[in-house]
Structures are given as structure tokens and as C-alpha cells.
Amino acid sequence: MTQYDLVVVGSGPAGRRGAIQAAKLGKKVLVIEQGKRVGGVSVHTGTIPSKTLRETALNLTGWRERGFYGRAYRVKQEISADDLRRRLLITLDHEVEVLEHQFARNRVHNIRGKASFLDPQRLEIIKDDGERVEVTATSILLAVGTKPFRPDYIPFDHKSILDSDELLEITDLPRSMVVIGAGVIGIEYATIFSALDTAVTVIDPKSTMLDFIDKEIVEDFTYQLRDRNMKLMLGQKATKVEKLADGKCSVTLDNGRIINCEMVLFAAGRMGATDTLNLAAAGLEADSRGRLSVNPETFQTSVPNIYAAGDVVGFPSLASTSMEQGRIAARVAVGVIAKEPPKYFPYGIYAVPEISTCGLTEEEVKERGIPYECGIARFRETSRGHIMGLDSGLLKMIFSLKTRRLLGVHIVGEGATELVHIGQAVLNLKGTVEYFVENTFNYPTLAEAYKIAGLDASNRMGEPK
């Protein structure tokens, strides 16, 4: 039996950041990963693959240039699943290589195998060859991530009726697709395949989508999707999915409507990957979706020496926030003070077009009764937007009328996930509308939209008193 200061289960964003943080503090650290390679869901089936797929689709289709050259413009006329996979494999190999080097450089031990609790301080690891290894740890960090929710009524066949993990392994691009679930994952993949000229229909029982995003941004986003002929069937539930004799699929809705397509993607939620951990032996219990409850400041579970971070603890389930959660949890676990992170973090949705947001939405500002004003800029108002051929894209900022401070920044359009960090910095530094009015931005850039939106709000707010 080997003793460690910290054992980390899972090598995704939370696990790897936590492990490396503890190792840098001079602690003996072990990472247990049940996948074939380190990296977790983020590297192999989630964040990195989906964003690589998106970038490949936009590049090969010439999507970004169609504003100038028309909708028929293509960089590659015939795009295959192999074209998409080629870039994906190169990217994943690089990510794994970097991660393995980080572990080696920081003296982080790692074992491939499935971990389960024997008690709150002991874990059993079953390796691929069947060998059983037992380890003990002063502290344990659970960073096991999530897996797709797969209800019994969906006849998954790994070929034409798929979950979001299986989608990356398709051999042919479908001409038509139904996406069940209008959450972040469903919308990202739906818009990516739409950019590949697949006819996409999105189905969700809720009458709205992306409710945590500012409503005006969602309305603009929805308009763009419908403008390119994506079907959004919200407020309608898929009650039956079946494979037809001709190889196609059929989706029946609760109102009796039937939609035929070549492929069905079920992307209605994910489950915490905790079912094999034998949590009961450690005195832990997951909720109905396999998630663990933690102290939001320390990421400590109800068992004092066991911590959890990343997607397994629920919202916001972002790679970026998971990394920070893992770092904080590791510092607390080894007895080192962890400073509270800045209040506002950005949320990015890598759809086509991108959405990114930071701070309060207009709806939240209204609920709090804060007098406010908004500033709007459209990318087509910027010279860089003209150069890039953009006819869409929107940046919105919300300011307090009383303090003139920025309360929220919300962006839909090209480069949104990069642009948002300017607003994030101003938010966390408690900056006001004057920053955007008086500051000089590079010209021509899309960042100039901040200046336009700042002036728009300032003109309505009047001079500071």
C-alpha cells in the first residue's frame, strides 16, 4: 500500500490543475485515470474535440468568408468525416503530450485504472490487466467529470442514434439531423453541423433555451439560426425515437408530429461519473444525476478529507471554472490558504455564432431593482467588421445609473469568447462607463465595439454628476 498526500481521481481540467498545484507545493500526488490516455472528458470527448470540430468546420466550409463571397463559397467542396477527424487527432495528441509532460515535470504519479473507495482514506485501483492496487491518501480530490445521460427509451446504436461522446466517431456526415436537447452541448453541435450544410432540427420540451444568457442576446442568436433555416422546435417533447428499415431515423413528438432524418443526436443532459466509485464506503452520496454537493468556497464534501471539483459538482460545468475549482480544492486539501477568485467569470458557448457573457443579465438587474442603462454595438458598425464581411454580431453592456459601474457584458458573434475578457476585467476592477468612452482601442478591431457601446450608454446616461 502506498501513501500519498493527495490522490486525484480524474485527469480533466479540475483534476490536472489540482494535482499540479499540490505537487508545486511539495506534496506527494497521485492521479488515477480510467481512460486510455490522460486528459479526461475535456480532452477526449468534450471541450477540446467539440471546439476543434467547430474550427475545422468553419475553416473548410469557408464560413467566415461567405459575407463577401456568397453562401455557395467553399474552401473544400466535398467535406468528409475523415477531414474533421484528421485535425481532431492531431489536436488531441498535442493536448495529451503537453499534459503528460506537465505531470512528469512536476513529479505527479499517475495510474491507469478504475478507482473505488474502501474507506474515506483508502482507494482500490483495478488496472487494465486486472491487477489490484491499494493506495491511501491524507486527502482525496474527486474530479471524475460527467458522462452523457442515456435514457432507456432512446435506442442508441452508435451509428445513427448517438450521444454527444459518440458523435465524434461518425464515419459519414449526415444530410439531416435531429438534435434532442437545446442546452449548451446540443446547441453547439446543432450549429456546427448546420455550418456543414446539414439540415438541423432542434427539439426541446422547454419553450425557451439558454435561459441563463441575457434574453436580448438569445433573441439575436435565435434570429441568426432561423435565418439560415435551422428548425427550432421548442416547447415540444420527443416521445419516441426509432430506426427505420431504410436506415434512416424517425422522431415522434408529443403533439403527434413525426420528423424523419439521417441522424439523431441525444444531448439532453449529463450525469456525474460517480456510479463506480463506491461512494457509500466513504460516507458520500450523490444526487439523482450523480453529482456531489460541496462547500462552494473550499470544495470540501460532507467528508472532511474528501473534495470534489469540476463538472461533477454541477453548474457552471466549464473547463475554465473547473481548473480554478481544482486548484482551490487542492490548496485547501493540503493545508494552504486559497484566495477567493474574482467574483465574475466568463461563460462561453462555442456555437456558430459564439456567445459569451460575464456579469449580470438585464433580467437579473431588473429583478434586483437596480436603475440601469444599456449600451449596444453591432459588429457591422466597426471597420474591422466591414473588413471581415460581418453582417451580424452584437455587443451589449449594462451600467448602473447610480454608480455608472459596468454590471454585465454580453456578446454574440465572431470572436465573442475572446472579446468578453475586456469586459470581465472592467467588471472585476469595478470600472465605469468612462473607461470605455475615454480609453483608446486598436483600430480597426472588433474590440472597438466596446467604445461604440460605451458611447451609446453614456449618451443616454448623460454627463457624470
176-196 pLDDT, tens digit each = 999 999 999 999 999 999 999
pLDDT of residue 217: 98
Which whole-number Å values give the CA distances from 257 to 112, 237, 238, 240, 252, in the listed order?
47, 10, 9, 11, 6
pLDDT of residue 32: 96
Residue type, 150: R
Indicate the burial class of 119 (C-beta count within 10 angstroms; 0-12, 13-18, 19 or more): exposed
What integer is the mean pLDDT of 196-214?
97
pLDDT of residue 43: 74
pLDDT of residue 1: 66
Lowest mean pLDDT among 195-204, 346-355, 385-394, 428-437: 385-394
Residues 6+ apart with CB under 8 A from 457: 373, 374, 375, 397, 399, 433
Residues 6+ apart with CB under 8 A from 455: 375, 436, 437
Lowest mean pLDDT among 132-136, 220-224, 255-259, 314-318: 314-318
- Alpha-carbon distance of 54 to 62, in angstroms, equals 12
